[in-house]
Amino acid sequence: MILYYHPLSSYCWKVLIAFYENGAPFTPRMLEDAGVAEAWQQLWPIGKFPVLHDPSRNATIGEASIIIEYMACHEAGIFHPFPADPDAALEARLMDRLFDNYVMAPMQAIVADRLRPEAQRDPTGVEQARALLAKSYAMLETRMTGRKWAAGDSFTLADCAAAPALFYADKVQPLSSDHPVLAAYLARLEARPSFARVLAEKQPWWPLFPYAEG
């Protein structure tokens, strides 16, 4: 399988964590490399990443959560994105959506605004994104109290989503002492070998992140 990705993309990190957890073989194709972007655009004209191409099944899959589920179906390994218990699996899927939609999305809106020319910036939009992040932090702080991982005792799809979302969000709107549960959880994520590997691999490109000083 071939993974098209960008080394600073939060959603690409989400997929990389799952692959590293699983030990599934894949060929990484970084969009920074010559010729890779053209092949990626032909496979996925919508122009979003990550994208997984599986030549053995002539399959091209977009969207990070679906890529992870595809990997679990076709390259079964030691990582199980969803618990066997149906209710626990629903909780993992819910937490995946919470981190993507209410942490990752507002964080990306804040970062995107920083990248715009100053005359084109949207302070109202940034204020709204920061307000949503504050609500999300408070909700997740309560929901995760007593949990080791996002959905319970097992590392799941939800943690693959949480790691990049919280890491980047903490740079643009620090968790601070007001959210000790989330701060401790982020520390556990950063110590997890799969995410530690992702963080190490991003280092050459990290200065390109507009909040890299955070």
Strands annotated E in the chain: 2-5, 27-30, 51-54, 59-62
* 190 contacts 196 by C-beta, under 8 angstroms: yes
pLDDT in tens, 160-207: 999 999 999 999 999 988 999 999 999 999 999 999 999 999 999 999
Provide DSSP, 111-172: HHHHHS-GGG--HHHHHHHHHHHHHHHHHHHHHTTT-SBTTBSS--HHHHHHHHHHHHHHHH
Q: Spell out the CATH class of 2-74.
A: alpha beta
pLDDT in tens, 47-89: 999 999 999 999 999 999 999 999 999 987 889 999 999 999 9
Q: Residue ranges per domain, the chain?
A: 2-74, 86-192
What's the pTM?
A: 0.95
Which CATH architecture describes the domain 86-192? Up-down Bundle (1.20)
* 128 contacts 68 by C-beta, under 8 angstroms: no
Quick one: residue 58, left, alpha or beta (phi over 0 = left, psi -120 to 50 = alpha)?
left
